[in-house]
Amino acid sequence: MANAPGESTPRETGTDSMYDGAGYLASLRDAREIYIYGERVPDVTTHPAFRNACRSIARLYDALHDPKHRDTLTGIDRSGVRTHKFFKPCYSAQELWEARDAIVDWSRLSYGYMGRTPDYKAALMGTLASEPEYYAPFDESARKWYARYSSQCLFLNHCLINPPTDRSRPVHEVGDVYVHVVKERDDGIIVSGAKMLGTGSAMTHATFVAQNSAVTLDKEKAKDFALVFIAPMDTAGMKLICRASYEQNAQSPFDHPLSSRFDENDAVLIFENSFIAWENVFVYRDTERANGFYRHSRFVNRFMLQATSRLAVKLDLMVGLFAKGIETNGTDAFRGVQAALGEIIGWRNLLWGMTAAMCLDPENAPGGAVVPKQEYAYTMRIFGTQCWPAVRQIFEKFLSGSLLVFPSSYKDFLNPDLRPVLEKYYRGASVSAVERIKLFKLIWDAIGTEFGARHELYEMNYTGNHEQIRLDVLTGARKSGILDQCIALTDQCMSEYGLEGWTGSTWVWDK
Ligand SMILES: Cc1cc2nc3c(=O)[nH]c(=O)nc-3n(C[C@H](O)[C@H](O)[C@H](O)COP(=O)(O)OP(=O)(O)OC[C@H]3O[C@@H](n4cnc5c(N)ncnc54)[C@H](O)[C@@H]3O)c2cc1C
């Protein structure tokens, strides 16, 4: 990272060195190697593919210092440093609850449409303070990274998944593609290989690289792949190959009000003989810890609090969009349409309820911390994936063809010949043509444009493949004893009767 935090705006106290928006944007101007449309991006903060998304993140950093948000968003950690409330470990249900409110406050600034705001990776980084010893002999890396991360509120992306080169082969047989150590040096390691999908990575400070928890690493043969490390975005030999930019393709704020400012580009990260200093390494050639840190750190428990709170905010927007959409179409008084609105509100209520359960009924974690209970967090991985397609389908069923009843561009309204025609034929039941089209373009960007469609893919996949998220719930139930309790309850029910009738005297049966 080329720029120190707060360079643009020095803070008054030694304990507050969180970035502000200007400092954050300045910190992105370094030697990072980002490619899009065949060219290297000279400055991510001014490039039309990324500049508004960067500004959306800058807005979050400004909020940390804004008196309107500061007390909700920030607090003091146990070392006396001011940080975002989810960037530090939580030691009580009350602290988790306040961390949720901080997540929500940030999320509202992108209406839940940015999944990988800096608080996402705080789910793991915050845990480095409560039990750095787990990463021994790299525990000092964990301590130092927590201190730096929390005090500056750094923005990390993470890249856990190996590209889909060949899923039928074990990881160590795809060494030409998958990230592995090439060479060990006195001062660190050299790594090569690719990872997917670094959401938002172009506008972060560093990438966190590890193996996906679903991957099984052969104890002996896969040691070179058993790594957890952090690479600053200006790491030499690291390239980001970006997907097409929905921000750059957006025509105007009126036509694409979400994609034009909240597009977190998903990139493939490629390391070619990149140097990673020991202080950025957490796990090295240790197959057990390369996977084990997920469960041990309770990373999933915490990231699902961020993810569910963010999705709850997004659902608030969806409730509002649907309510306005049916009113505009004049269908809001029909019983079936009202039931559909009720269903979306039901999803919304379920998500908010789950955030409350995750905070107020937590479980103990290493180092005296508390985290959302595994049952709740892991279960939300399943229902989060079901929620979004269900809600999206309601929009498509009940707003139907009206979802495409809008002209190609805001420019059509600027054409004096066309304007009166549009005013007449595109008006809604209760609003003008401009208001109607403004609303429906927002709805379409939320669910139907390339940006909107990518959101469905995101909600359905980002916590793991659809089988893995269910298998993890099963594994959890086996370990916690929940499965045994359920089987015992079933056995009890079956023990109360047989071929001879009831086994006890409670009930009667006339043979
Ligand atoms: C929009 C978006 C953003 C993302 N952002 C990030 C990010 O920032 N960081 C990150 O690390 N990841 C990210 N991801 C990746 C995401 O975590 C993965 O897509 C998800 O974990 C599923 O993994 P996969 O895509 O490799 O699918 P797979 O794991 O390959 O699963 C696809 C299907 O193939 C089958 N399958 C695969 N392997 C096997 C096997 N060995 N045996 C039997 N069946 C198998 C399963 O049936 C599964 O349903 C993102 C994904 C999306 C869509």
Beta strands of 338-470 (E only): which ranges?
Answer: 363-364, 370-371
CA-to-CA distance for 222 and 173, rounded, in angstroms? 9
Ligand 1 pocket, 465 CB below 6 A?
Answer: yes
CA-to-CA distance for 6 and 92, rounded, in angstroms? 31
C-alpha distances out from residue 208 to 343, 465, 499, Å: 38, 20, 61
What the block records as the tokens of 409 is 């561009």
pLDDT at 328: 97
pLDDT at 291: 85
The one-letter amino acid code at 120 reads Y
Ligand 1 pocket, 200 CB below 6 A?
Answer: no
Which atom of ligand 1 is nearest the CA belonging to 195? Answer: 11
Q: Which protein residue's CA is at the shortest distance from atom 38 of ligand 1?
A: 167
pLDDT at 294: 84
Query: Which regions in the chain score pLDDT beneath 70?
Result: 1-15
pLDDT at 4: 38
- Secondary element (H or E) of residue 192: strand 188-199
pLDDT at 457: 96
pLDDT at 212: 84
Ligand 1 pocket, 269 CB below 6 A?
Answer: no
216 CA to middle of ligand 1, Å? 14
pTM to 2 decimals?
0.94
CA-to-CA distance for 246 and 265, rounded, in angstroms? 8
Average per-residue pLDDT for the chain = 94
Count of C-beta atoms within a 10 Å radius of residue 15: 15
pLDDT at 491: 97
91 CA to middle of ligand 1, Å? 33
pLDDT at 214: 78
Ligand 1 pocket, 159 CB below 6 A?
Answer: yes
263 CA to middle of ligand 1, Å? 20
Specify the CATH class of 296-480 in words: mainly alpha
Q: Do 193 and 172 touch, CB atoms closer than 8 A?
A: no
169 CA to middle of ligand 1, Å? 15
Strand 33-36 to 238-242 pairing: parallel
pLDDT at 216: 86
Share of the chain above pLDDT 90, in %: 92
pLDDT at 215: 85
The per-residue pLDDT for range 474-506, each reduced to its tens digit, is 999 999 999 999 999 999 999 999 999 999 999
pLDDT at 17: 92
- Tokens 């996402």 belong to 120
The per-residue pLDDT for range 42-70, each reduced to its tens digit, is 999 999 999 999 999 999 999 999 999 99
